[in-house]
Amino acid sequence: LVQPVLSRSGMHPPSMSILDGPPLTPSQPLMLSKKHIRVLQKAMEDVMKPGGTAAGAGRGAAYPIAGKTGTAQVFSLRGAEYDEESLAKKLQDHALFIGYAPAHQPTIALAVVVENGGGGGSVAAPIARKVFDAYFDARP
């Protein structure tokens, strides 16, 4: 497993690191059958296809992408209705996306978190797509 890093800039120069941790060692491997893994992989591929929550970000990609969108609520509504337009920016939902590509033989995996960005499919997934495109464009 890789060493976890939390960085301010998305890059990892030592001057930008907030926290470096030791390499991770799993206590117990997660045992899933190949069948269950394939179900999860297909579901993540479907997220990027028409009808999926990140279909817009997946449209026109020259390589298959697998991903999962998410939205993290910043505060509790406590029975109130969520109205993004009336909320202070600092109280708006965080936009989340995790993904990997190419879907069947991944060479890159990433996570995108946009604080107070809104929806994962409309905000975080398009950012991930730009990173994927840059990665594949830079490869020989």
Mean pLDDT lowest among 15-24, 41-50, 96-105: 15-24
Tell me whether residue 75 is in a domain.
yes
d(CA 68, CA 136): 20
Backbone angles phi, psi at 138, to 5 degrees: -85, -10
Position 131 in a domain: yes
State yes or no: pLDDT of 13 exceeds 90. Answer: no
pLDDT at 1: 46
What is d(CA 63, CA 72) in angstroms, rounded to the nearest whole number?
28
Q: Would you say residue 18 lies in a domain?
A: no
Domain ranges, residue 134: 33-138
Residue 64 is assigned to a structural domain of this protein: yes
Q: What is the pLDDT of residues 35-79, one digit of tens each?
A: 999 999 999 999 999 999 999 999 999 999 999 999 998 887 777
Question: Per the domain annotation, does 123 fall within a domain?
Answer: yes
Provide the domain count of the chain: 1
Which of 122, 113, 109 minimizes the C-alpha distance to 59?
A: 122
Tokens linked to 137: 């464009």
* Average pLDDT score, the chain: 85
- Which of 136, 129, 132, 133 shows the shortest CA–CA distance to 69? 129
CATH number at residue 87: 3.40.710.10
Residue 17: inside a domain: no
Q: Give the Cα separation of 93 and 71 in Å (integer).
A: 6
Residue 39 CA neighbour count, 13 Å, CB half:
5
Is 9 a member of any domain?
no
Residues 6+ apart with CB under 8 A from 119: 69, 71, 93, 95
In the chain, DSSP finds a helix count (H) and a strand count (E) of 3, 5
